[in-house]
Amino acid sequence: MLFAVALIGAITHQAVSVCWPNTGRSKSFVGAFRGVNGMTYVNAIIVLFLCTAVLGAIVYPNYRLNVRTVLHIRHFYKPEGSFEFKEHAVALGAALLPAYWYFWRYPVEGNRGTRNAVTVMLALIVWWAFMVGHVLNNIRGFGL
Amino acid sequence: MKIARLFPVFSAAFAAIYAPALYYNWPVFTYQPATMEWNLGAVTKQGPPMFWYGILVTCFVGACGVAALAALVPQRVAQRVWPGLTWLVPVAALVFIAYILRPYYLN
């Protein structure tokens, strides 16, 4: 959970800084949020992503056995499908990490668009995984 | 040759292999969480089987193989390949996965 929160903060910072860069000095909160140096986040994001994914993979059999079967029996297909999509998105996100590292480690002007797209894609995957994980964790509170 | 230049190839290849590996169910092994057993290949026994770990290994090995083949390609040829495939292939894979998961949302 702590890894996931740290990861979502870091990747959101970086994604916003590449989509909406702020090159000047800004005193506003939003300007400062946009003005971070994305390069400094790369290694931390990779470590946090891997730690979160590995911990998730360790508890995954428990979900598969005790939670997913209940969702299925009670016909909660949308939450179940959302988790299935999350599982695959996280796998593809983890596989994107070597490319993500490469495009940040060797920044070339011609690769800027690709670097930004990979970063935004990772951010969207992390957000999806975070939201789905929390909705499923608290699903009984949603009246299901 | 810097091995790092193969990283984008690995990422794109992993996604390209992942979609058919999921659709046709090509895990190297299956984990049975109910009995805590590991079986070679796609095996369904008592309780729900978990193919995901095995599919990850399939894709990892396949992507390593593709990256190894890409290492044989001369750099001047490799530089002509559009780097955007690194994100476009995973996006296409995710769209395909969403398509095959559509029964969850249509039921």
Q: pTM of the entire structure?
A: 0.89
**Shortest Cα distance from A7 to chain B (angstroms)?**
20
Give the C-alpha separation, B51 to A91, whole Å: 13
The range of the structural domain enclosing residue B91 comes to 3-106
Checking if the pLDDT of A114 tops 60, the result is: yes
By CB neighbour count within 10 A (0-12 exposed, 13-18 middle, 19+ buried), where does A140 fall?
exposed
pLDDT tens string A73-97: 888 899 899 999 999 999 999 999 9
Please report, for the domain that includes residue A132, its CATH number.
1.20.950
CB-based contact, B87 to chain A, within 8 Å:
yes
Residue B46 CA, distance from chain mean position: 26
What residues contact residue B63 under an 8 Å CB cut-off, 6+ apart? A95, B10, B11, B13, B14, B17
Would you state the structure tokens that stand for residue B22, as one six-digit string?
């999921």
Under 8 Å between Cβ of B71 and B6:
yes
Nearest CA in chain A to B9: A99
pLDDT tens profile B63-105: 999 999 999 988 888 888 898 999 999 999 999 999 999 999 8
Are the C-beta atoms of residues B9 and B65 closer than 8 Å to each other? no
d(CA B10, CA B31): 25
CB pairs under 8 A between A and B: 105
Calculate how close chain A gets to B85, using CA atoms only, in Å: 8
Top-confidence range, A103-112, A129-138, B70-79, B89-98: B89-98
Rounded Cα–Cα distance for residues A42 and A90 (Å)? 17
Two tokens, residue B2: 């810097």
Q: H/E element holding B40?
A: strand B37-40
Question: Are residues A85 and B97, on separate chains, in Cβ contact within 8 Å?
Answer: yes
Please indicate whether, in this complex, the C-beta atoms of A64 and B14 are within 8 angstroms of each other: no
| Domain coverage including residue A68 | 2-142
Higher pLDDT, A25 or B9: B9
When divided into structural domains, chain B yields a total of 1
Number of structural domains (chain A) is 1
B94 part of contact set with chain A, CB < 8 Å: yes
CB pair distance less than 8 Å for A99 and B48? no
Q: Mean pLDDT, to the nearest integer, of A17-38?
A: 72
Q: Where does the pLDDT of residue A69 fall: very low under 50, low under 70, confident under 90, or very high at 90 and above?
A: confident
